[in-house]
Chain A
Amino acid sequence: MSRSRVAFTLLEVLIFCAIISTFFVSAAAITTFLLRSMKANEHRIIAARYAEELLEWIRAEKERDWEALVSSECFNQSPIVGVTACSPTLKLGEAPNKIFNRELVQTNSVSVETDVVQKTFKVIVEWPEGSDVNLQSVQIETILGIWER
Chain B
Amino acid sequence: MKKIRRFSFTLIEVIVSMAVIGLVLPVIFSIVFVLMNQQAKIQRLKVIKQEGDFIFNHISNQIKNNAIGVIIDDPPTIVEPNTDYDINPVFTCGNVSSNDGSIFYIIDKGKSFISGKTDFNNWFKYVLNANNISSQSSTFGDVTLNSSNVKINKIEVPPLIPTIPFISCKKDANKYSPAIISVNFRIEYDTISTRVEDKAYFNYQGSFKLRTY
Q: Which residues of B contact A81 (CB under 8 A)?
A: 161
Q: Which residues of B contact A86 (CB under 8 A)?
A: none
Q: Which residues of B contact A63 (CB under 8 A)?
A: 180, 207-209
User: Are A42 and B34 interface neighbours, CB within 8 A?
Assistant: no
Say whether chain A's binding surface is mostly helix, strand, loop, or mixed: helix
Q: Can you list 18 residue pairs at the A/B interface with Cβ under 8 Å?
A: A35-B35, A38-B35, A38-B39, A42-B41, A46-B45, A53-B203, A53-B204, A56-B56, A56-B205, A59-B206, A59-B207, A60-B206, A63-B180, A63-B208, A79-B155, A79-B164, A80-B205, A81-B161
- Per-position binary interface string of chain B over residues 191-213, scored 1 when its CB falls under 8 Å from any chain A CB and 0 otherwise: 00000110101111111110000
Q: Besides the contacts A45-B42, A56-B204, A79-B205, what 8 more A-B pairs have beta carbons closer than 8 Å? A: A6-B7, A31-B35, A35-B35, A42-B41, A56-B205, A56-B206, A61-B207, A79-B203
| Given A56-B206, A79-B184, A79-B203, A49:B49 Cβ within 8 A | yes
A48 to B201, CA, bound (A): 14
User: Shortest distance in angstroms between A21's beta carbon and chain B's nearest beta carbon?
Assistant: 12
Of B7, B34, B199, chain A has the most CB atoms within 10 Å of the CB of B34
Interface residues of A in 38-55 (CB under 8 A from B): 38-39, 41-42, 45-46, 48-49, 52-53
Q: Which 4 A-B pairs have the closest CB atoms?
A: A60-B207, A63-B209, A79-B203, A38-B38
